[in-house]
Amino acid sequence: MIVGALAGILGAILMAVGIEAALLLSPYLTFFGIHQTARFVVVTLLAHIVFGVGLGAGVLWLRPH
């Protein structure tokens, strides 16, 4: 159970970090006129990690037991 829960949360974090990487490689920064700084990358990466943890925990909480 613990291993499955950890895998679910880590999978969600990996997905969220992948989304962040795709966004950083896409043209959305220039489209919205955002300057890519180290602070911007750290803040958005941490935000996506928090999102991944919440998503993974929510999926585990909502799945049938």
pTM for the whole structure: 0.70
- The pLDDT of residue 52 is 82
**Which residue range is the domain that position 36 belongs to?**
12-62
Number of structural domains found in the chain: 1
List of the chain residues with pLDDT < 50: none
Buried-exposed string 22-56: b where 16+ CB fall within 10 A, e elsewhere? eeeeeeeeeeeeeeeeeeeeeeeeeebbebbeebb
Residue 26 within a domain: yes
Residue 5 within a domain: no
- The pLDDT of residue 12 is 79
Three-class SS state of 36: coil
Residue 19 within a domain: yes
